[in-house]
Each structure stands twice: as C-alpha cells, then as structure tokens.
C-alpha cells in the first residue's frame, strides 16, 4: 500500500503486494516479456534468456523465434506487460490487428532469417513498434531508447518482486496467489 514493510511486525500481516506480472493474453495491444523457459516466479534466476511478443486486440501473442512467427493463445500467462496504444487513438485501435498481421507475414520474419543476437524476437517487436510509429508520423525508437524508457522500469519492479518472493519462500512464509476477481481489483 505504499508504506515501508520494515518494522511493521506481525500485526501488519497479511500483506498484499501487487504483482508486476500479468496474464499476457488479457493485455491487448501490448509488448510482453517473459522467460524463454519457465516463469518469473518459477525459478527464474535473472540470467536466463527472455522472450518478447506483441499482442493483438484479442490477446493473441505474435512472437518470433528460429521457427518463424507464432500466434500464441497460451503460454504467456505470467509476463511483464507494457501497453503500446493510448486509449484515445481510435484509428490505431481499429487498425492494430491488421497492421500486426501484415507486418508479421513479411519476408524479414521467415525462419531462416532468425539470428539469435541480431535478428530475434526483440528485433521483431521493436520493428513492428517502429512501423506503427512511422505510420503515425512519429520518430522511430532505437533498441536502447525503447529498453531504457519502457522495459527497464518494468523489469526493475519485477526484479524487486522476484527477490522478495524468493526471500519469503526461503524463510517459510506462506504466499497465497490472488483469485481472478481479486486480480482485477489490483
């Protein structure tokens, strides 16, 4: 609730901390980030590879890997979500799915073009974001600019949450996941 936990003691329990992780398939028109294998709270050590994708208006996650473009309806249940479209941009809201599909069938995203370090899932997601910015007459963003402005603030929150989660588990605290109705309130 925005108050420090230090010195709160047992009378302050139970404590509810909002999770930085979202059900990605419920995040329309968003940039999603998750571990390539496993989940953030299921053993992620901060060193393993991450995977990114972009959701359409229905929460289908478009993502790129060595097998090409995927349209995933599952698998992104615990991820970091960065909304990409402001609610007042009606025209973009209406065109989003068409733009994403057209972009994704381009030759640049064929499986044989995948390269782990230079032409990967992040390249795909950022290239799509930049294509949308271009259609809006806005300046494109570099990888470092997008990462610093949007990704790092969210990953810092996630890192703190993961660390706290790991400490609580290691010290025999009981963690109760929120039910769907409770998640909506957070």
State the Cα–Cα distance between residues 76 and 100, nearest whole angstrom.
18
- Whether the Cβ atoms of residue 30 and residue 83 lie closer than 8 Å to each other: yes
Biggest alpha carbon distance in the chain? 60
Question: How confident is the model at residue 185, as a pLDDT?
Answer: 44
Residue ranges covered by each domain of the chain? 21-171
E strand map for the chain: 30-35, 50-55, 61-65, 68-72, 80-83
Structure tokens at 7: 């010195």
Contact 28, 59 (CB under 8 A): yes
For the chain, residues with pLDDT lower than 50 are 182-183, 185-186
Tokens standing for 124? Answer: 């795909």
């Amino acid at each position: 609730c925005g108050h420090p936990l230090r010195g709160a003691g047992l009378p302050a329990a139970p404590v509810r901390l909002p999770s930085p992780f979202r059900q990605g398939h419920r995040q329309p028109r968003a940039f999603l980030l998750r571990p390539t294998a496993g989940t953030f709270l299921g053993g992620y050590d901060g060193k393993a590879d991450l995977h990114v994708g972009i959701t359409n208006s229905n929460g289908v996650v478009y993502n790129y890997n060595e097998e090409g473009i995927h349209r995933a309806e599952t698998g992104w249940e615990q991820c970091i979500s960065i909304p990409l479209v402001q609610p007042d941009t009606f025209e973009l809201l209406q065109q989003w799915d068409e733009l994403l599909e057209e972009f994704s069938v381009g030759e640049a995203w064929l499986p044989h073009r995948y390269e782990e370090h230079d032409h990967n899932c992040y390249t795909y997601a950022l290239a799509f974001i930049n294509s949308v910015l271009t259609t809006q007459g806005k300046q494109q963003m570099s990888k470092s600019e997008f990462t610093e402005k949007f990704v790092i603030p969210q990953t810092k929150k996630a890192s703190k949450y993961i660390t706290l989660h790991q400490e609580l588990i290691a010290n025999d605290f009981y963690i109760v996941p929120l039910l769907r109705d409770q998640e909506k309130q957070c």
